[in-house]
Amino acid sequence: MINRNLTNAELLAIDAVKNNYDENLLTIIDKVETANPDYVNIYILGKVNFGIGTMSEAEADMLGINFERPMRAIITTTKEMANDLIIGGAFYPNMAIRVEDSYEKFFEEQQPRVTAKKEILVGEDNKPIYRTTKVVYDHELVKNPHRLIKPLGIFEEPKVTANSLIES
């Protein structure tokens, strides 16, 4: 049964989800009522293309680099609209997932991005990177593309030295 608790690999092993993914359609993977019974959170899986920057497509192909990743997003809708949406089915056409990174949290309990080894990814000045995703219309993504921060390393605790104790 399709639901938000499955991994991306498990979801993409389901024919309907994989077909939508290959066709660049967003797939509804779950529907959950919010605290307000008039609204429902729709959990979405889709393909995000992060672009290849200054690299040509030929170079990316030769290096085996794939800039497309499955990503998830949540969008809230009315209960009435949610009733027409089918888990495992395609979400509305002409929609995309926009990815946005920041050094600031997007919501209070948010955790920073981590590696597969659960190491915190950081950018400038050893600052943790936070990421959010949003469902947008295709034309919105063209107008307002992904805002990404390139990770520069793994978080390192500041080293305490005798000099740093004296300076503080």
Cα gap 57→65, rounded to integer Å: 9
Residue ranges per structural domain of the chain:
1-93, 97-168
The pLDDT of residue 74: 97
pLDDT at 153: 85
**Kind of pairing, strands 68-78 and 95-102?**
unpaired
The two three-digit tokens of residue 93, written as one number: 């056409």
The percentage of residues in the chain with a pLDDT greater than 90, rounded to a whole number, is: 68
Q: Each residue of 3-26: pLDDT tens digit?
A: 999 999 999 999 999 999 999 999
Rounded to whole angstroms, the maximal C-alpha distance in the chain is: 65
pLDDT, tens only, 34-73 = 999 999 999 999 999 877 565 667 776 776 767 889 999 9
pLDDT for the residue 37: 95
User: What local confidence, expressed as pLDDT, does residue 66 receive?
Assistant: 72
